[in-house]
Amino acid sequence: MNDEKTEQRRHSVAIIKETAQSTNGGRSYLLKGLWACRLAAGLDQRQLAEAMGSTQATVGQLERGDRGAYPKTIMRLCECLGVAPEDLLSGGDPERTEARR
């Protein structure tokens, strides 16, 4: 089971690196779809921040693109929102998201 989970995580991180626009040479990534995913989950910024163990200010910065998210943060967001990494990274481009599924 651990091997399966590890392989799944590697796959998700590979998708993040392949799909996302990096803000600092491949260490963090812009989350163009975070706002839409958060709204679809019915959460406000404070609720999402609490669920992921962060602050409302951080969620706001990530949504505005003022800062990028590290792969570990992206995976936490995916767990909290029930979405795939591509959903957070896609920025609402349905063609690109459908092509990845």
Each as own residue / partner, the long-range contacts of residues 48-56 (CB below 8 Å, 24 or more positions apart, any chain) are: 48/77, 48/80, 48/81, 51/80, 52/76, 52/77, 52/80
Q: How far is CA 32 from CA 1, 4, 39, 90, in A?
A: 32, 29, 13, 6
CATH code at position 26: 1.10.260.40
Distance of CA 85 to the CA centre of its chain: 5
Q: Are 31 and 69 in contact (CB under 8 A)?
A: yes
Q: Is the pTM of this model over 0.75?
A: no
Number of domains in the chain: 1
Report the C-alpha gap between 62 and 85 in whole angstroms.
Answer: 14
Domain of residue 82: give its range: 2-100
**Residue 27 — pLDDT band, cuts 50, 70, 90?**
confident
DSSP state of 101: -
Report the C-alpha gap between 24 and 9 in whole angstroms.
Answer: 22
**Residue 60 — pLDDT band, cuts 50, 70, 90?**
very high
What is the rounded average pLDDT of the residues 55-61? 97
